[in-house]
Structure 1
């Protein structure tokens, strides 16, 4: 049996990552949108890839567990990439938390049960986590140690504390880094590694949708004042993911790789002020 690649979330970034990593593997594609799944699966199959699809709701433990178990029936699960996410322009606070926060925790927990030795995983987070307000040390410890099912009960993620979808998104992405750090020991016990990647402003459907919102001016300012001066592409992120799941990164686990063309640096050096400041 060939090795199994699992890609969760098959939008622009997920498709690019799947095409990069799929050759020679059985690729399990998963998404909430079954129409999108079927379209991409047909395209990849025509191009010669071995593809399996499964609808998944990453906010449901039962659904994520079923996906993990299905993947394991097709061979040793050696690569898992979770790109599933909702942006502030797409969803309200609770939905963002269920997908971007709880969904990540569920993928980390459930796939730890089916990993093959030597496996590697990547969670696609966001550079928004670097510019959102931080957590207290107590909150960080709670996030690290609370199972997925209890995360929404934490005070740090109450709708009153967050106040807006944008804050829910940024805080969820900041929490992803803590979740990956904590999961690195769980995955390490199975001989596996896990990291996250935080993209900057990327030209995907989600990214372009966000550029059209009131926060779009801030995003464009970050790009214009960044060291690269350009919007990123899905291929930029696929390059980073390919490195992190590959043999060259065998001593790298529990970290976040910021792939943003210098967007965050533009904010942290004061070239671009945060909105409201």
Structure 2
């Protein structure tokens, strides 16, 4: 576990990594990555029990994480590298041909920390359920975490998986919804309003936790710890985490416009001016 100030420093460096990676190749998804920074840092530097090296793809006797909305790979790659899964310097290869850090995570390159290819939205919860059930069969009491975008909940497979998880009492699963209210074409309310996400999961038989300040490290940790306390009680756990897309960079925050747009040189300089270099740039 890492103390709060150190976690916040990691967040600042992670955000620097995100904007630099996307800028370097003028391609990628900075908005959702910036918005989920506190979640990823809390997960990998405070919550999960895992071993970075040597990396075991099977994840026996350790907590597992599955990223369903794979387009936010910049934050995932940054946090994995800073947690020791692979060299930080490899972040400079993001989205370049024949490298391990592709725009959406893949498995055939053998990048440590990546257990599934993701990017086709709606599939990650099904995978996480399978892993959670496998742990139950193996008498492994570790937990499985997954992350999903709120726009991703418009995929029907999510609700098939949610129904299955509740019916089969997959109570070692914590699925977090990044509720930033934005998706590629605009606000989620404008594209396809979903009403209360918590009410939907509860209707499907899940227990829920609400993190109202998803870009506040203390709130994220408290919410995830509450979710962990609810495991083992017969229900899967859904964490509804309210974030701001683009959080940490003022001109990117709260809008869908930075979902998949890279900053230019001037915008990069402005963003980096708001983000302290704490661990050293790659």
Structure 2 length as normaliser, TM-score?
Answer: 0.41
Q: Which has the higher strand share?
A: 1
- Taking CA–CA contacts closer than 8 Å with sequence separation of 6 or more, which of the two structures ends up with the larger relative contact order? 2
Q: Which has the higher helix share?
A: 1
